[in-house]
Amino acid sequence: MFSSLSVYTLLALSVCAANAFPQYQSLAGLTRDELDAVVPTLQYSPPQPPPGPLADDSTKLVNDAAHPHMPLKPGDIRGPCPALNTLASHGYLPRNGIVTPTQIMNAVQEGFNLENAFARFLVFSTFLVNGNPITNLMSIGGATPLTGPNPPKPATVGGLNSHNNCEGDTSMTRDDFFFGNNHDFDEARFQNFVNFSNKFGAGKYNLTVAAELRHFLHQDSLMRNPQFSLVSPRLFTAYGESVFPINIFIDGRQKDGQLDLTVARGFFQLMQFPKDFHRHDGAISNEGFDTVYNKYPIQPGGNTKGVNTYKADPTSATLFQPCLRYTDFVNKNIKALYPNPTGLLRKSINTNLQFLFEATAGDNCTQVFPYGKDN
Ligand code: HEM
């Protein structure tokens, strides 16, 4: 819990907003109980309301002079998401890979024109399971002390590499968690991307290729990964990720839906915008996911007794049940990590849950309050 003085002494003097205790006041002379009460408040950085949609969402140059690509410095963190990696390597996100939800919202809207409500759900669902609600910081890769002292277990604050939410099996360019490395670019998997694009897309990645590749990735994990799982919420991100390269990695002035493979490698491996890259013309999210799904529909589920033992999981939300996705995510995934939060932790989680719920406005879901309502 918040009791390790050695962890705090350095961090407490340097971080975030000091709300309940003036930062200039010396901590010397306080009892251990007083320190335990005060130090979390020194770390506390309250959640910020997410930005609204862009006022002007037309296409524009985003690989500009103000956002040059820079090579990684020692200690810079990157993870499984090629878009966030690229935004960090161009300075739309902090280059060290430690970010706040608002910074991600601004970066994915400004740099890629990701649609506001869609971005919110992705950002706050991911932050609630992988970020630190006290410091309001999250790693876009692995766990790090840079996000501050962790809340009590079973919370993990593991960053985006955590195998529990967005991250999951059947990625296009990252291996399944079972095989050891679920976050670094994997050349062999990228070669499948290339081969399928050559076979079904005449050398480009498009919706036809996306459907065939997704089917292949399911079969591949089914036959090789004894722990293969594809249930909500991973189900949603998997189909979203199949179409993101078409919707978002293609230059906004190019309207044919055909992604060049050199451009693809630039994002997936090199974390780099192409020269002169313009973002998508108009806000966009996972359009086309249903085309990918409908070619080879599957039920949510996974291997239950080793490879090739796929069993449907009727309790999982399907792609067409966004409210069940929301409700289960809050009541199961978040509750499992934070069974009984109190004080500032509860307050922050409740605020982030509110931001998450607001992202479902278009779906008419009923809000759930696992920790009661704030006054
Ligand atoms: C402009 C918006 C975004 C685009 C274009 C994008 C694109 C992608 C793509 C294509 C992948 C799949 C990588 C692969 O299969 O090899 C991916 C993975 C991932 N993205 Fe993003 N992403 C975006 C925004 C976000 C946001 C806002 C978050 C969370 C805050 C996020 C978190 C992740 C995670 C955790 C993965 C790993 C999933 C996995 O493959 O297991 N992404 N992203």
Dist. CA 172 → ligand 1 center (Å): 11
- Residue 96's SS3 state is coil
Tell me the domains of the chain and their CATH numbers: 48-363 (1.10.489.10)
Dist. CA 295 → ligand 1 center (Å): 22
Residue 220 tokens read as 């591949």
Whole-number pLDDT of residue 31? 72
Mutate to test the pocket of ligand 1, among 113, 138, 241, 268 (most ligand atoms within 8 A of CB): 241
Beta carbon of 207 within 6 Å of any ligand 1 atom:
no
Dist. CA 190 → ligand 1 center (Å): 15
Helices first, then strands: H and E counts in the chain? 13, 7
**252 vs 56: CA distance, rounded Å:** 14
Q: How many CA atoms lie within 13 A of 223 on its CB side?
A: 6
Give nearest CA residue, ligand 1 atom 3: 83
Task: For residue range 342-366, list pLDDT tens digits in order.
Answer: 999 999 999 999 999 999 999 999 9
Task: For residue range 62-114, list pLDDT tens digits in order.
Answer: 999 999 999 999 999 999 999 999 999 999 999 999 999 999 999 999 999 99
Beta carbon of 168 within 6 Å of any ligand 1 atom:
yes
Q: What is the mean pLDDT of residues 309-332?
A: 98
The model carries a pTM of 0.92
Give nearest CA residue, ligand 1 atom 7: 83
- Residue 255's SS3 state is coil
Q: What is the mean pLDDT of residues 188-208?
A: 98
Q: Distance between alpha carbon 294 and the CA centroid of its chain, in Å?
A: 25
The beta-carbon contacts of 325-332 under 8 Å, at least 24 apart in sequence, are 325/232, 325/233, 325/236, 326/121, 326/356, 326/357, 326/360, 326/363, 326/365, 326/368, 327/365, 327/366, 327/368, 328/232, 329/125, 329/232, 329/233, 330/356, 330/368, 330/370, 331/368, 331/370
Residue 96 tokens read as 């060290």
Beta carbon of 112 within 6 Å of any ligand 1 atom:
yes
